């Protein structure tokens, strides 16, 4: 059935179909076609497929930035066909420095407000993006408050912890300031969403885009050790960070991806949220 759909959409038969790892939605394959072309195929057989949202985000990045992303060849809610990007997720010093250059350029893409023209996804979860003039209000309400409630509704975040997250969200102005302008971010910046080869980044995958304070992206990139000193040294040459990012703001911003992981997986991520809340007095 999948081979027939690919032939219909691409005009060539499938010579080989190999399963790939990665992604939170559906199954991922690398397809080699009879004409020699290679493509990546995502299939979502769930009751509410939304691969068309991923296609929208990839197209948005391609149209509004120079970030290397897969080209969208076909998109439907249950089927996404993309161009194949060679590379792997091993990020040495050269790759990190190049990633810093690419993300610094991405963060130079501006909007008048925070959010996006439509809601998106992160890890397959809905990510609301109503336009807001205030970044602190957006982050408090549409990121921390929203995801805490979703995690509670899924039975993975205790009510008492959700209430503490909301108290932290209300107190954000103690540590955060409004950024100079909204910046376009990739939104899901961790190792397996990055491909590299021969010291250069070849592609960024699985975005969760919106216009934000770029520090929320930089923070996420440290949560699972994606980027380190080589990245931040080069990034700060291009877009210097204000003092206090590594000491305080990074951990505050990482409450959001931790809540995403609580909603998806529960487990030890609940303790990580609790630890951060305690650190900031909640």
Burial (CB < 10 A; 0-12, 13-18, 19+), residue 259, is: buried
Cα of 82 vs its chain's centroid, Å = 18
At 16-70, the pLDDT tens digits run 888 887 555 668 999 898 888 899 999 998 899 999 999 999 999 999 999 999 9
> Measured between alpha carbons, how far is 52 from 273 in angstroms, rounded to an integer?
31
Would you tell me how many other CB atoms lie within 10 Å of the CB of residue 22? 12
Q: Region 140-147: what's the mean pLDDT?
A: 98
Q: For all residues of the chain together, what is the average pLDDT?
A: 95
List active site positions. Answer: 188
* Phi and psi angles of residue 126, each rounded to the nearest 5 degrees, phi first: -60, 140
pLDDT tens digits, one per residue of 83-98: 999 999 999 999 999 9
What percent of the chain clears pLDDT 90, i.e. is strictly above it? 87
CB contact at 8 A, 102 and 195: no
Q: Which domains does the chain have, with CATH numbers?
A: 2-83 (3.30.200.20), 93-279 (3.90.1200.10)
Structure tokens at 258: 């931790």
Here the tokens at position 247 are 């000491």
211-237: pLDDT as tens digits: 999 999 999 999 999 999 999 999 999
pLDDT at 254: 98
What's the Cα-to-Cα distance from 224 to each of 172, 198, 271, 282, rounded to whole Å?
23, 23, 16, 24
pLDDT of residue 25: 63
Name the DSSP letter for residue 201: E
* Residue whose token pair is 């010579």: 15
The model's pTM = 0.95
């Amino acid at each position: 059935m999948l081979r027939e759909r690919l032939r219909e959409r691409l005009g060539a038969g499938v010579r080989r179909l190999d399963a790939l790892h990665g992604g939170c939605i559906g199954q991922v394959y690398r397809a080699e076609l009879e004409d020699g072309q290679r493509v990546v195929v995502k299939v979502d057989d769930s009751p509410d497929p939304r691969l068309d949202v991923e296609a929208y985000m990839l197209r948005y990045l391609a149209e509004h930035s120079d970030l290397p992303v897969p080209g969208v060849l076909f998109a439907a809610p249950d089927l996404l066909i993309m161009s194949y990007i060679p590379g792997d997720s091993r990020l040495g010093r050269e790759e990190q420095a190049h990633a810093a250059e690419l993300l610094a350029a991405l963060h130079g893409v501006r909007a008048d407000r925070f959010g996006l023209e439509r809601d998106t996804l992160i890890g397959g979860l809905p990510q609301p993006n109503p336009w807001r003039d205030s970044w602190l209000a957006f982050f408090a309400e549409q990121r921390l408050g929203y995801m805490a409630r979703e995690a509670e509704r899924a039975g993975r975040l205790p009510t008492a912890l959700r209430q503490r997250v909301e108290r932290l969200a209300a107190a954000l102005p103690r540590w955060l300031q409004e950024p100079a302008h909204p910046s376009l971010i990739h939104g899901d910046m961790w190792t397996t969403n990055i491909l590299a080869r021969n010291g250069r980044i070849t592609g960024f995958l699985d975005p969760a885009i919106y216009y934000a304070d770029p520090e929320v992206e930089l923070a996420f990139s440290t949560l699972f050790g994606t980027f380190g000193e080589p990245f931040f040294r080069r990034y700060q040459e291009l877009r210097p960070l204000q003092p206090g990012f590594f000491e305080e703001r990074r951990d505050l911003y990482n409450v959001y991806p931790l809540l995403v992981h609580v909603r998806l997986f529960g487990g030890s991520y609940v303790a990580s949220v609790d630890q951060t809340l305690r650190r900031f007095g909640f």
